[in-house]
Structure 1
Amino acid sequence: MKTIISNGTPISYNTYGSGPATLLFVHGSFIDQTYWKEQVSFFKEKYNVVTMDLAGHGESGTNREVWTLQEMAEDIVNLIKELRLENVILVGHSLGANLILMAASAYPDPIIGFIAVDNFKNLATPLPPEYESQVDEIIANSKKAYAETNEHYARMVLLTEQTPQWITDKIVAAYRNSYEPMGQQTLPQFFTMDRIERAVLPSVKPRINLINVSYMPTNVAALEQNAVNGFALIEIAGTCHYPMLESPKALNEALDEVIDGVLEAKLAI
């Protein structure tokens, strides 16, 4: 495990393999870079593969008094700069997809591809007004009972009754045991992400490639309206938000297809 210092915090990362492009994998909320194990094994034979732990996650530091998604996106940019990465294809799962969107907007030059895994199912779309009171309730409940609120959210939104039990147990434990100061401060920011998406999408050069799981539908109309520089969607079968755990072979095949397309497009320029 290697580290850089970004925004005063140690950020843990690993590098594997070599090749014509760098695949930078960014995990989602409350999990860590080890979730990409099957992707690392598959892609390191062809590409330079980089994985990282977001601040407050995995082996990265927790020494921040103020936790913002903006700084987490800056950490991604700082890692790219520190490692002098070129021909970067960003791969982000869940929150990681939001963060790589912000990073690609802030530091576009080395970015040649953008892949979101099970995210942007309602791209740049605000919550309906009737859900606003539920948001307030979720935030209030998190302050009173953090672990229990996180578990409830994971079971209701990210997992289903059909999800294999070992995955359910792993995700519930990750959500319950996440670093509370980070979770408490970033939670309200999740509910304003639609505004950030609308603001940064026009400055993200690559097409938005989505690999989404069928357990929850994707709002294609929202993509057509808001993905101003184009999008492509691949859906894979699954019962939960974690295809890297449930369907690693299908995810690898979909990623391989998208990456091939990104590199073909670059060569054609």
Structure 2
Amino acid sequence: MTTIISNGTPISYRIYGSGPATLLFVHGSFIDQTYWKEQVSFFKEKYKVVTMDLAGHGESGTSRSEWTLRGMADDVVNLIKELHLENVILVGHSLGANLILIAATTYPDPIIGFIAVDNFKNLATPLPAEYDSQVEEIIESSKRAYADTNEHYARMVLLTPDTPQWITDKVVAAYRNSYEPMGQQTLPQFFMMDQIEREVLPSLRPKMNLINVNYMPTNVEALEKNAVNGYALIEIAGTCHYPMLESPKALNEALDEVIDGVLEAKVTA
């Protein structure tokens, strides 16, 4: 296991290949860098590919008393700095997309591309007030029965009855077995991400590229309104939040298209 120390915590990472750009893949909540296996295999022949485990996930450490999303985004920045990464195209799935948004606006100089996978479907848009009681119930339920609450959320929001059983089993196990102190502290912050998005989006230099799965629609009006420095949306077919597992070929093709566009834009800039 290869690590850096960020905010006092070992952060596990792996590096593959070499090339004209670095693809830094950041996974989502409660899963780990191994979910990018098919992307690593596809892209390592053309680019330097870096994957990481977020703090409290996978092989990374859990030695924090305070767990914040901004702290996790700092870990992404610290990895870029520690490894002296250049020409970085950030690829973030789910929570990872939120973190790379913060990272890209905190430390913009080496970042040439931004790709979110199945996120920002209601960009910078707060939940309607009528959902406030449901949010409170989710948070309170998590305190009473953490693993059960996580499983219920995964099944209701991230998976569908049509999702292949092996993916459902894998994701449910990851959610049930996640590190509880981290999960408890970060859960309320998930419901405040719209505020952070509105705050940092004007500072995002690269175009916001989205590759979303059509099992849940993307609010294009929210993108038009809030992606102030431009966006592009590719939708791929699927039944769940995990295209790297369910549709790796389609995801790789979409990523390849976006990455080519990022590099062409850099050459002509």
TM-score norm. by structure 2 comes to 1.00
Is 1:235 matched up with 2:239?
Answer: no
Q: Secondary structure at the residue paired with 1:163?
A: coil
How far did residue 258 of structure 1 move? 0.1
Q: Secondary structure at the residue paired with 1:170?
A: helix
How far did residue 235 of structure 1 move? 0.2
- The corresponding residue for 2:41 is 41
Q: Aligned runs of 1:150-229 on 2, under 5 Å? A: 150-229=150-229
How far did residue 24 of structure 1 move? 0.1
**One-letter amino acid of the structure 2 residue matched with residue 225 of structure 1:** K
Residue-by-residue CA offset, 1:28-84 (whole Å, 9 max, x unaligned): 000000000000000000000000000000000000011000100000000000000
How far did residue 186 of structure 1 move? 0.1
Residue-by-residue CA offset, 1:203-222 (whole Å, 9 max, x unaligned): 01000000000000000000
**One-letter amino acid of the structure 1 residue matched with residue 265 of structure 2:** A
d(CA) in 2 for partners of 1:265, 1:193? 29
d(CA) in 2 for partners of 1:107, 1:48? 20
How far did residue 187 of structure 1 move? 0.1
Q: Secondary structure at the residue paired with 1:105?
A: helix
**One-letter amino acid of the structure 2 residue matched with residue 107 of structure 1:** Y
d(CA) in 2 for partners of 1:65, 1:80? 24
Q: Aligned runs of 1:92-171 on 2, under 5 Å? A: 92-171=92-171
d(CA) in 2 for partners of 1:66, 1:265? 40
d(CA) in 2 for partners of 1:83, 1:13? 10
Unpaired segments ≥5 residues, structure 2: none
d(CA) in 1 for partners of 2:265, 2:74? 27
**One-letter amino acid of the structure 2 residue matched with residue 20 of structure 1:** P
Q: Secondary structure at the residue paired with 1:135?
A: helix
d(CA) in 2 for partners of 1:204, 1:22? 18
**One-letter amino acid of the structure 1 residue matched with residue 215 of structure 2:** Y
How far did residue 141 of structure 1 move? 0.1
d(CA) in 1 for partners of 2:103, 2:204? 9
- The corresponding residue for 2:79 is 79
Residue-by-residue CA offset, 1:138-180 (whole Å, 9 max, x unaligned): 0000000000000000000000000000000000000000000
How far did residue 128 of structure 1 move? 0.1
How far did residue 248 of structure 1 move? 0.2
**Percent identity, aligned pairs only?**
86
- The corresponding residue for 2:11 is 11
d(CA) in 1 for partners of 2:2, 2:197? 31
Structure 1 runs of 4+ aligned residues shifted over 3 Å read none
Q: Secondary structure at the residue paired with 2:78?
A: helix
Q: Secondary structure at the residue paired with 2:256?
A: helix
Task: Say what the alpha-carbon RMSD is for the aligned residues.
Answer: 0.3
- The corresponding residue for 2:66 is 66
Q: Secondary structure at the residue paired with 2:4?
A: strand
d(CA) in 2 for partners of 1:62, 1:257? 36
Count of aligned residue pairs for this structure pair: 269
Residue-by-residue CA offset, 1:85-128 (whole Å, 9 max, x unaligned): 00000000000000000000000000000000000000000000
Unpaired segments ≥5 residues, structure 1: none
**One-letter amino acid of the structure 2 residue matched with residue 71 of structure 1:** G
**One-letter amino acid of the structure 1 residue matched with residue 33 of structure 2:** Q
d(CA) in 2 for partners of 1:148, 1:209? 34
Q: Secondary structure at the residue paired with 1:124?
A: coil
TM-score norm. by structure 1 comes to 1.00
